[in-house]
Structure 1
Amino acid sequence: MKRGKKYIEAAKQIQRGNLYEKSEAISLVKKAAVAKFDETIEAHIRTGCDGRHADQQIRGAVVLPYGTGKTVRILVFAKDAKADEAQAAGADFVGGQELVPKIQNEGWLDFDVVVATPDMMGVVGRLGRVLGPKGLMPNPKAGTVTMDVTKAINDIKAGKIEYRLDKTNIIHVPIGKASFTEEQLADNFQTLVDAIIKARPAAVKGQFLKSVTLTSTMGPGIKINPMRLQ
C-alpha cells in the first residue's frame, strides 16, 4: 500500500516494536494525525478471550467523559407514549413497523445507533440480517433495549459507546478526535480500559489485555504496554 508523505513523516516519530506508556502514546497519536480533517482516535484492544465460547464473550457500553466528538444519529423503535418520549428526548428518527421495508428494501441506514423498547424487538428482529452485520442490533447489555428511552438517548448523546469482541477477539472503539486535548483523550481511554477490565469473563485465564494500539484515522498504530494498564 502506497503511503503519503505526511504518513511517512508521522511514522518516523514512532519506533516499531516499541511499547509506549499511555501518556506518550496519546501525545504521539495526536502528532501523527496530520490529515486536513479532524481525525478520529481509536483504541484497538486484543484480549485473551476466545469469542467462540459463550462464557468468554465481552459486550457492554460505557459513557466516555468527553464523548467521541461525533454527532450520533439515533433511531428509536417505539410506539404510543414511548414514541412521544423518544421524540421529546431528541431522537433523530422514531418509528415502528413502517420502517422495516424502508431499511430492508430501500437500504435506508442514515443512523448510527438503534434503540428499541422490549415490546418492539419482534419488529426489530426481522431486520437482524441487515442490522446485525453492521453492529446496529439493539442489545440489553449495551442498554439499547430499554423502556427508559430518555436515559438511553441522553447517554448516547453524552458519549456512550458500545464495545464488543470482533471475530478476531479484538475490540475496536473510538475514544475521541485529534482536536481533543491529551488529558481528554487520556480520560476517555482510561474509562474505556477500566470498563473492559471490569467486564473480564471469569473463564479467561492468564494475561487478559494482550495488546493495545492507538491509531488516528490516517495515522500509524502506536502500541501501549498492556501490562501497565491491568
Structure 2
Amino acid sequence: MERRGKAYRQAAEKVEKDKAYTLADAIKLATETNPSKFDASVEVHVRLGVDPRQADQNIRSTVVLPHGTGKTVRVAVFAADADADKAKKAGADIAGDEAIVKLLDKGALDFDVLIATPAYMPKLGKYARLLGPKGLMPNPKSGTVSTDVAKATEEAKAGKVEYRVDKQAAIHLSVGKVSFGAEKLLENANTFFASLQAQKPSSIKGVYIKSVAVATTMGPGIKVDYQAK
C-alpha cells in the first residue's frame, strides 16, 4: 500500500477490507473510490468453479449491455459489396472485401470488432496469426460470423461485448464508465450476470460463481457477496 499513490490510498480507506458488499453497494462504492482524473471503466471480476480445459466448461459468450460500455467501438465488416453496403448503413466504420484485405495485408488493425459472413471466413485463414492473438478473429460464438451483418454491426455498436473465462477460471469485464452513475452500471452488471448464469454448464455440481469483485481501472478492489441482495 505504501507504494501506491496518495489518491489510491485515500480511496482504499473508504473500502472495508474484510467486508463483502452487495453488488449494488459495491458498484456505488467503486464510483466513489475512483482515484483517476479520467472517466475510468468500472470492471467486474468473477472467479468461476469451472475447469476451462473441459470443452463444456470453457465459458464464452456475448451480452448486449443496456447502456453500452462507454467506449466508441470501431466495427469492420468483411463481406460482399451488397452486404457491405447494408453494414455501412448500420454504422460500420469500414466494410467491403478489398478494403478489409488492404488493411490486413498492411497489418493495420484499425478496428475493435471484425464481422464476417460465413462465405468470407475461409479468406481470413491466412490472417489467423494476425487476428487470433488480438482476439479479433470472427467467431460464431461471439456473433461476429453472421449472415445478417447489419444486425451484427448494430449490436456491436450498441454495446455488445464478448466475455470468456481465462486459464485461471476467471472472467474480467468492463460494465461501463464511472460517469454512467451507479444505477446504469448496476443494470449493466445485472444483465451480464444473468447472461453468465445462463451459461452454467450442466456438469457443474458445486459452486458456479465462487467470488466476485468490483473495481475501477486504477481503483481498489471491492469484494462482493454475490448472493446478497
TM over 0.5: same fold?
yes
Residues 163-209 of structure 1 show CA distances to partners (whole Å, capped at 9, x for unaligned) of 11112111111100000121101100000001000111111220000
Q: Secondary structure at the match of 2:145?
A: coil
What residue in structure 2 maps to residue 188 of structure 1? 188
What residue in structure 1 maps to residue 138 of structure 2? 138
What residue in structure 2 maps to residue 148 of structure 1? 148
Deviates more, 1:66-75 or 1:118-127: 118-127
Q: Secondary structure at the match of 1:132?
A: helix
1:16-55 matches, cutoff 5 A: 16-55=17-56
Q: Which amino acid aligns with 2:57?
A: Q
CA shift, 1:125, in A, is: 2.6
Deviates more, 1:196-205 or 1:183-192: 196-205
* Contact 2:90–2:150, Cα closer than 8 Å, also in 1: yes
How far apart, in 1, do the equivalents of 2:150 and 2:204 lie? Answer: 35
1:11-90 matches, cutoff 5 A: 11-90=12-91
What residue in structure 1 maps to residue 172 of structure 2? 172
What residue in structure 1 maps to residue 92 of structure 2? 91
CA shift, 1:97, in A, is: 5.7
- TM-score scaled by structure 1? 0.93
How far apart, in 2, do the equivalents of 1:133 and 1:204 lie? Answer: 29
Identify if the C-alpha distance between structure 1 residues 79 and 221 changes in structure 2 by more than 3 Å, giving closer, same or farther. Answer: same
How far apart, in 2, do the equivalents of 1:44 and 1:100 lie? Answer: 36
How far apart, in 2, do the equivalents of 1:154 and 1:174 lie? Answer: 19
- Return 5+ residue gaps in structure 1 as ranges: none
How far apart, in 1, do the equivalents of 2:176 and 2:52 lie? Answer: 27
Q: Secondary structure at the match of 2:120?
A: helix
* Contact 1:97–1:123, Cα closer than 8 Å, also in 2: no
> Number of aligned pairs?
228
Residues 31-52 of structure 1 show CA distances to partners (whole Å, capped at 9, x for unaligned) of 1113111101111111111110
Q: Which amino acid aligns with 1:208?
A: Y
* Contact 2:77–2:100, Cα closer than 8 Å, also in 1: no
How far apart, in 2, do the equivalents of 1:100 and 1:210 lie? Answer: 43
Deviates more, 1:130-139 or 1:30-39: 130-139
* Contact 2:94–2:100, Cα closer than 8 Å, also in 1: no
- Return 5+ residue gaps in structure 2 as ranges: none
- TM-score scaled by structure 2? 0.94
Root-mean-square deviation (Å)? 1.7
Of all paired residues, the percent bearing the same amino acid is 49
Q: Secondary structure at the match of 2:179?
A: coil
How far apart, in 2, do the equivalents of 1:47 and 1:31 lie? Answer: 27
Identify if the C-alpha distance between structure 1 residues 210 and 109 changes in structure 2 by more than 3 Å, giving closer, same or farther. Answer: same
How far apart, in 2, do the equivalents of 1:92 and 1:68 lie? Answer: 18
* Contact 1:43–1:213, Cα closer than 8 Å, also in 2: yes
Q: Secondary structure at the match of 2:34?
A: coil
Where do 4+ consecutive residues of structure 1 move more than 4 Å? none
* Contact 1:209–1:227, Cα closer than 8 Å, also in 2: no
